[in-house]
């Protein structure tokens, strides 16, 4: 069987990169009403603004000469120009409000889509990606995309209208003067395209370095007690400085090379305006002297002023295109990282004829082989049969494959070969939801969420009564501590219960498990964070929790597995011994040596 859950990291192809911008725009068109309103306001505001230079030229032409000013025409054109600019400004203001609304909706939609997809991804994805790096994609990268969609895309559309409109107006005034742009515009475009090839990898590296920095910071902040215990503050600071320097260096390279484009294109644009002014002045003087009779080379003072204004409007957006180019590169790099999450294959869907598992507790593993990577197998032909109600302990040195077996039973990963059956039903023929609901898990790494103590205990059974919750807490020997909290069971926990000790957090998770009615139980170092006295006190409760259930117990403390019906001794992915505690001691094999190392001085 092919392991479909393994994470494949394939770089985006050039074709995918070209489609990235289209994918981003699709988020905008999920709100067609707002997009249509935004385009209407944008087109109207730009068209009204484009009328200004023409009206200005007409007003100038109304001044025939000294003492011959046609004041009614001047006031008319100036009044229209003021009115058009006021209307354009109002529409631009309304457009900004619409775009703020649209951008926030896009941010919400995209972030929700990414987070929802994260909940569908296989466990393997989280095993191979740092939490901080994932959070960076969910927050920083999406915010970068939001800024680009709400600002850069809008600017490109508005500037495109301005460029086309200005070109048309200049064409109606003097087609000959436009020839200047035939030289300057290609220079700007060629330079921008050339720089884009070199800049895109820099922005991609910048996003990656920031993700690494966030991941390292999250990891170090969560391990402050250990860091301080071993006096590694200076070492951690130096390592952070290295990553911080790398991130800043990546930012500098991307921003430095990106900032070169704007000034260069701006210089070329200003040069084109200077050439137009010079050439237009020559045409105007020839027109006054009558030396030129060809209409193409005749231009009035008003048209000359209007043409220069349109030339600035034409060159300005091209310059702005270059200025926002670096921001677009940053957005595209962020998009690659965000879509890298969205494009990750989710857990495969259940078979169409998959059954809802009503497990009784019989579990069979036959010749199971598995490896997290293809060239390194963890389990080698593992076979075991567990009857309903039996307790199976899995012991062995670190890296033997104990937790891997649990991952396979829960179908967090799919096996490479062999078969796993529950009550005779192959694991792939059952729905994942019903399979996982057949288990209750108590892990060494406790997890509590932001909420009350009551909600955390009742996490697996939302219909549990207060009496059942209190009874479970009493069995887990945590009731007395909970009652000592300021608000008892209503006390709010935050940040994973950082105000509780590890032992207290683990006892709450044990109380949570005691509310479950699932027929199978997994205990993965379930009492590793409680002291020996507390462990002894809750042994009776643990035995009651395990009664009647098929139990899989992983433990390094061999004292916790002595009452198991069967103990599997794992080494290098193979079961090298199996039997009861007494049988394994009498065999004087590997288990006996492990037991002796713990209890014999």
Separation between Cα atoms, residue 560 and residue 577, nearest integer Å: 18
Q: Coil, helix or strand for 297?
A: helix
Separation between Cα atoms, residue 271 and residue 353, nearest integer Å: 71
Using the predicted structure, report yes or no on whether residue 3 has a pLDDT greater than 50. no
Tokens of 317: 């957006």
Q: Specify if 6 maps to a domain.
A: no
Do 99 and 32 lie in one domain? The reply is yes
Using the predicted structure, report yes or no on whether residue 237 has a pLDDT greater than 90. no
| Residues sharing a CB contact under 8 Å with residue 161, sequence separation 6 or more, in sequence order | 42, 43, 46, 47
Report how far apart, in Å, the C-alpha atoms of 506 and of each of 234, 518, 560 are.
32, 19, 16
DSSP-derived pairing of the beta strands 451-452 and 363-370: unpaired
Query: How close are the terminal C-alpha atoms of the chain, in Å?
Result: 47
Indicate the pLDDT class of residue 283, thresholds 50, 70 and 90. confident
Tokens of 396: 């062995």
CB 317 within 8 A of CB 10: no
Q: Specify if 13 maps to a domain.
A: no
Does the pTM exceed 0.85? no
Higher model confidence: residue 352 or residue 502? 352
Separation between Cα atoms, residue 467 and residue 34, nearest integer Å: 52
The total number of structural domains in the chain stands at 2
Residue 47: CB atoms within 10 Å? 15
Using the predicted structure, report yes or no on whether residue 295 has a pLDDT greater than 70. no
Do 337 and 378 lie in one domain? The reply is no
For the chain, the average pLDDT equals 80
Q: Specify if 10 maps to a domain.
A: no
pLDDT digits (tens, 9 = 90+) for 540-570: 667 777 888 899 988 776 766 888 899 999 8
Separation between Cα atoms, residue 492 and residue 383, nearest integer Å: 45
| Out of 101-115, 314-328, 350-364, 393-407, least confident range | 314-328
Do 28 and 121 lie in one domain? The reply is yes
Q: Specify if 356 maps to a domain.
A: no
Q: Specify if 397 maps to a domain.
A: yes
Q: Specify if 149 maps to a domain.
A: yes
Structural domain containing residue 33:
20-342
| Out of 14-18, 160-164, 507-511, least confident range | 14-18
DSSP class of residue 427?
Answer: G
Do 375 and 476 lie in one domain? The reply is yes
How many CA within 13 A on the CB side of residue 77? 18
Using the predicted structure, report yes or no on whether residue 326 has a pLDDT greater than 70. no
Do 396 and 515 lie in one domain? The reply is yes
DSSP result, 187-234: HHHHHHHHHHHHHHHHHHHHHHHHHHHHHHHHHHHHTHHHHHHTT-HH
Separation between Cα atoms, residue 131 and residue 522, nearest integer Å: 25
DSSP-derived pairing of the beta strands 566-571 and 574-579: antiparallel
Do 377 and 475 lie in one domain? The reply is yes
Classify residue 532 by burial, with Cβ atoms within 10 Å: 0-12, 13-18, 19+.
Answer: exposed
Separation between Cα atoms, residue 1 and residue 9, nearest integer Å: 21
Average pLDDT over residues 74-99: 88
CB 45 within 8 A of CB 16: no
Q: Mark which of 309, 342, 375 sits at the end of a domain.
A: 342
Q: Specify if 1 maps to a domain.
A: no
Q: Specify if 570 maps to a domain.
A: yes
Do 401 and 547 lie in one domain? The reply is yes
Higher model confidence: residue 297 or residue 368? 368
Element spanning 381, H or E: strand 379-386
| Residues sharing a CB contact under 8 Å with residue 291, sequence separation 6 or more, in sequence order | none
Indicate the pLDDT class of residue 175, thresholds 50, 70 and 90. confident
Using the predicted structure, report yes or no on whether residue 525 has a pLDDT greater than 80. no
Tokens of 312: 């600035």
Q: Coil, helix or strand for 573?
A: coil
How far from the centroid of its chain's Cα atoms is residue 312's Cα? Answer: 41
**Residues linked to residue 373 through DSSP beta bridges, in sequence order:** 376
Do 158 and 225 lie in one domain? The reply is yes
CATH number assigned to the domain comprising residue 486: 3.40.50.300
Do 312 and 385 lie in one domain? The reply is no
Separation between Cα atoms, residue 150 and residue 159, nearest integer Å: 14
What was the pLDDT predicted at 249? 85
What was the pLDDT predicted at 1? 40
Do 586 and 443 lie in one domain? The reply is yes
Separation between Cα atoms, residue 510 and residue 109, nearest integer Å: 37
pLDDT digits (tens, 9 = 90+) for 330-385: 777 788 888 888 888 888 888 888 899 888 889 999 999 998 887 788 898 889 99
Higher model confidence: residue 488 or residue 443? 488
Do 181 and 307 lie in one domain? The reply is yes
| Residues sharing a CB contact under 8 Å with residue 187, sequence separation 6 or more, in sequence order | 268
Range picked from 87-96, 186-195, 288-297, 324-333 for highest mean pLDDT:
87-96
Residue listed under structure tokens 């909290």: 485
Average pLDDT over residues 468-483: 88
Separation between Cα atoms, residue 490 and residue 63, nearest integer Å: 82
Higher model confidence: residue 235 or residue 226? 235
Q: Coil, helix or strand for 373?
A: strand
Separation between Cα atoms, residue 176 and residue 164, nearest integer Å: 17
CATH number assigned to the domain comprising residue 338: 1.20.1560.10
Residue 417: CB atoms within 10 Å? 16
Q: Mark which of 288, 307, 342 sits at the end of a domain.
A: 342
Separation between Cα atoms, residue 296 and residue 279, nearest integer Å: 13
Do 275 and 370 lie in one domain? The reply is no
For the chain, what's the residue count?
Answer: 601
What was the pLDDT predicted at 601? 47
């Amino acid at each position: 069987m092919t392991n479909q859950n393994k994470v494949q990291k394939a770089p985006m192809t050039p074709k995918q990169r070209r489609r990235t911008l289209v994918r981003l725009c699709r988020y905008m068109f999920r709100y067609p009403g707002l997009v249509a309103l935004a385009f209407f306001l944008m087109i109207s505001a730009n068209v009204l603004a484009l009328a200004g230079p023409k009206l200005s030229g007409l007003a100038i032409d109304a001044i025939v000469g000294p003492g011959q000013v046609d004041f009614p025409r001047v006031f008319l054109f100036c009044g229209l120009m003021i009115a058009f600019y006021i209307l354009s400004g109002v529409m631009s203001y309304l457009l900004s409000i619409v775009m703020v609304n649209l951008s926030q909706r896009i941010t919400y939609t995209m972030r929700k889509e990414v987070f929802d997809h994260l909940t569908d991804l296989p466990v393997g994805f989280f095993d191979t990606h740092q939490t901080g790096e994932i959070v960076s994609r969910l927050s920083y990268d999406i915010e970068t995309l939001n800024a680009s969609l709400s600002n850069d895309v809008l600017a490109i559309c508005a500037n495109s209208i301005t460029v086309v409109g200005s070109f048309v107006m200049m064409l109606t005034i003097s087609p000959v003067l436009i020839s200047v742009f035939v030289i300057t515009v290609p220079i700007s475009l060629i330079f921008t395209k050339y720089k884009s090839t070199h800049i895109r990898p820099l922005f991609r590296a910048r996003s990656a370095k920031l993700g690494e920095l966030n991941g390292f910071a999250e990891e170090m902040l969560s391990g402050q007690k250990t860091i301080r215990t071993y006096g590694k503050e200076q070492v951690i600071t130096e390592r952070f400085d290295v990553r911080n320097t790398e991130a800043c260096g990546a930012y500098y390279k991307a921003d430095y090379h990106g900032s070169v484009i704007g000034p260069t294109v701006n210089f070329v644009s200003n040069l084109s305006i200077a050439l137009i002014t010079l050439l237009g002045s020559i045409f105007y003087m020839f027109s006054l002297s009558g030396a030129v009779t060809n209409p193409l080379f005749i231009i009035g003072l008003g048209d000359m002023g209007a043409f220069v204004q349109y030339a600035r409007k034409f060159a300005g957006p091209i310059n702005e295109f270059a200025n926002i180019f670096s921001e677009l590169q940053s957005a595209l790099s962020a998009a690659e990282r965000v879509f890298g999450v969205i494009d990750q294959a989710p857990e495969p869907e259940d078979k169409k004829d998959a059954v809802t598992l009503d497990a009784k507790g019989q579990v069979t593993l036959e010749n199971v082989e598995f490896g997290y990577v293809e060239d390194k197998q963890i389990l080698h032909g593992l076979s075991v049969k567990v009857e309903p109600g039996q307790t199976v302990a899995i012991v062995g040195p670190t890296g033997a494959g104990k937790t891997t077996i649990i991952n396979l039973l829960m179908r967090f990963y799919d096996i490479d070969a062999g078969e796993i059956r529950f009550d005779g039903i192959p694991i792939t023929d059952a729905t994942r939801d019903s399979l996982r609901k057949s288990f209750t898990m108590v892990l060494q790494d406790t997890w509590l969420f932001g909420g009350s103590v009551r909600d955390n205990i009742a996490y697996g059974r939302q219909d549990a009564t207060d009496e059942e919750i209190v009874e479970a807490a009493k069995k887990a020997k945590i009731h007395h501590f909970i009652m000592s909290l300021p608000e008892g069971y209503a006390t709010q926990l935050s940040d994973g219960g950082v105000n509780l000790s590890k032992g207290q957090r683990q006892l709450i998770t044990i109380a949570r498990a005691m509310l479950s009615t699932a027929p199978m139980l997994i205990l993965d170092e379930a009492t590793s964070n409680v002291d020996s006295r507390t462990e002894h006190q809750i042994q009776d409760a643990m035995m009651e929790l395990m009664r009647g259930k098929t139990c899989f117990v992983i433990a390094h403390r061999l004292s916790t597995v002595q009452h198991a019906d069967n103990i599997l001794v794992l080494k290098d992915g193979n079961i090298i011994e199996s039997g009861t505690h007494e049988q394994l001691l009498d065999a004087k094999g590997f288990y006996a040596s492990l037991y002796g190392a713990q209890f014999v001085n």
